[in-house]
């Protein structure tokens, strides 16, 4: 438990417990009206305007379920920030995922993933980006070596 | 939305569409689909939340905050466009895999998580004769990667819960342990007259305390409730909370500042952990003040009895009884 200076810690414990119990009580009645994933993601991302914020903050103040998701995503965002990557990547995929995606793309577009990508039209800009991505990948490999 | 506001919005959306279409002409996203998606979000997030008519500046701010390129890509993927899917896969799959691995930490199968997420994104369900793609729920209000993190997180939680049906969401995320430690008053078993009298007295103080806590809680503004709950119930660190508000452009920061007249004097001041701490302290001071006033002024308790109320509660932090009372009340 973290404490705030200058406030009776017994009272903080008491009030925190009150909030937890209140959260649980409300969760029973509000189970069908949670924020959707898009809303939670936008809130965590900070992409909402003031007008959009009022009902969301009011909901989060009362709904422990949504607040738990929001708090977890806030933590994850901070943890994962160090692993941020360039926008375009040359993925190193595991065999399992590659296999799963291959069969998945086959179901999706009636062909293999390679086939889909081979048939995908590329603009000049895309081709340039791809060349750059490959070059970046090579540079990265050089650095690694 | 009146005709003028609608025309203003349509002109801005048309400019955004032109930019997006120029960057990605092969995604197969029509101007109508793009515009319709944005108007739907405006209706849901701006018009339905207030009776005040939308101003042009609010519309402009909303559209400037929109992740138009991400939305354009998502709309292409939702429609099953191959080129859009190719771009999505190239741009985001590796990131999604790393995030899933980071999140799963040996508790869930990240490959299975990503496989399930891809299937969900494409959509296997048919509603009214049309395939339902998860992408159609993305509004562009946050980044696509932030949205993907949320989808993946829920998928990992679902997978975990499927294997641990008795584990709550809270316990799984190890954030707060709601349901584990309740600030409640244990009810002792009566044993003789003196204990019975003592129990009646305890019950009276207990009821008085719960009523005072409810009064104090209702005196808080929603943003104060949220900050306190994030800190003391969800156990977010001050640093994590301050991340929400440290950016000067953060709408939540602006929202809190708008709600707090004391900070209007210096609207550009940076918000550090110490600032969040001060906000929390001020909120707690107010709660404590209302709590004490309710017990002493409204309920007529003296200072000694007030101490008894806090002491009783602090000594009996066990059992779900308070929850029971609140649910019943």
Q: Which of B144, B154, B222 to mutate to test the interface with A (most CBs of A within 10 A)?
A: B222
**DSSP output for A59-109:** HHHH-HHHHHHHHHHHHHHHHHGGG---SS------HHHHHHHHHHHHHHH
Q: Which residues of B touch A79 (CB under 8 A)?
A: 102
Cβ contacts below 8 Å, chain A against chain B, sum to 313
Tokens of B121: 């994104």
Look at B122 and A108 and tell me if their CB atoms are within 8 Å: yes
Q: Which of A12-21, B205-214, B291-300, B311-320 has the highest mean pLDDT?
A: B291-300
pLDDT at A25: 63
Look at B85 and A24 and tell me if their CB atoms are within 8 Å: no
CA distance B135 to A73: 19
CA distance A66 to B150: 12
Residue B66's nearest CA partner among B82, B46, B47 is: B46
CA distance A129 to A132: 5
- The predicted-structure confidence for A91-143, as pLDDT tens digits, reads as follows 444 444 345 445 555 555 554 444 444 333 344 444 455 445 445 544 444 44
Q: Is the ipTM of this complex over 0.90?
A: no
For residue B33, pLDDT over 50 is answered with yes
Max Cα distance, chain B (Å) = 85
Q: State the nearest Cα–Cα gap between A22 and chain B, in angstroms.
A: 7
- Which letter does DSSP use for residue B249 in this model? T
Residues 6+ apart with CB under 8 A from A105: A111, A112, A113, A115, A116
CA distance B255 to A50: 6
- The predicted-structure confidence for B54-97, as pLDDT tens digits, reads as follows 899 999 999 999 999 999 999 999 999 999 999 999 999 999 99
Max Cα distance, chain A (Å) = 68
With bands split at pLDDT 50, 70 and 90, how would you rate the model's confidence at B287? confident
């Amino acid at each position: 438990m973290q404490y705030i200076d200058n406030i009776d810690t017994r009272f903080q414990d008491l009030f925190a417990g009150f909030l937890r119990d209140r959260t649980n009580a409300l969760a029973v009645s509000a189970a069908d009206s949670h924020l959707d994933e898009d809303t939670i993601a936008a809130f965590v991302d900070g992409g909402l305007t003031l007008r959009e914020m009022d009902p969301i903050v009011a909901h989060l103040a009362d709904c422990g379920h949504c607040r738990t998701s929001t708090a977890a995503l806030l933590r994850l965002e901070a943890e994962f920030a160090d692993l941020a990557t360039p926008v375009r990547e040359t993925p190193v995929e595991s065999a399992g995922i590659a296999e799963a995606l291959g069969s998945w793309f086959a179901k999706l577009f009636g062909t293999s993933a390679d086939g889909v990508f081979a048939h995908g039209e590329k603009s000049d800009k895309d081709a340039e980006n791809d060349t750059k991505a490959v070059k970046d990948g090579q540079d990265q490999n050089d650095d690694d070596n | 939305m009146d005709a003028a506001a609608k025309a203003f919005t349509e002109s801005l959306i048309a400019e955004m569409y032109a930019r997006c279409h120029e960057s990605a002409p092969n995604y197969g996203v029509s101007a109508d689909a793009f515009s319709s998606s944005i108007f739907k979000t405006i209706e849901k997030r701006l018009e339905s939340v207030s009776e005040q008519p939308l101003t042009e500046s609010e519309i402009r701010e909303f559209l400037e905050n929109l992740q138009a390129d991400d939305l354009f890509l998502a709309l292409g993927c939702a429609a099953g466009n191959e080129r859009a899917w190719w771009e999505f896969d190239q741009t985001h799959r590796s990131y999604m895999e790393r995030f899933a691995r980071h999140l799963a930490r040996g508790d869930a199968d990240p490959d299975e998580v990503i496989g399930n997420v891809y299937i969900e994104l494409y959509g296997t369900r048919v509603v009214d004769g049309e395939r339902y793609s998860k992408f159609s729920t993305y509004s562009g209000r946050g980044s696509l990667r932030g949205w993907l993190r949320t989808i993946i997180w829920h998928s990992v939680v679902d997978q975990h819960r499927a294997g641990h049906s008795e584990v709550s969401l809270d316990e799984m995320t190890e954030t707060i342990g709601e349901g584990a430690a309740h600030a409640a008053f244990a009810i002792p078993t009566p044993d003789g007259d003196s204990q019975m009298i003592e129990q009646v007295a305890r019950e009276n103080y207990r009821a008085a305390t719960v009523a005072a806590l409810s009064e104090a809680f209702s005196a808080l503004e929603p943003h104060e409730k949220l900050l306190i709950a994030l800190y003391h119930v969800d156990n977010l660190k001050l640093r994590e909370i301050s991340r929400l508000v440290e950016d000067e452009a953060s709408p939540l920061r602006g929202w809190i500042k708008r709600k707090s007249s004391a900070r209007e004097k210096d609207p550009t001041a940076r918000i550090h952990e110490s600032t969040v701490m001060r906000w929390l302290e001020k909120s707690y001071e107010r709660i404590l003040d209302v709590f004490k006033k309710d017990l002493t002024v409204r309920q007529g308790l003296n200072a000694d009895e007030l101490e008894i109320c806090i002491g009783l509660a602090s000594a009996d932090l066990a059992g779900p009884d308070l929850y029971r009372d609140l649910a019943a009340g």
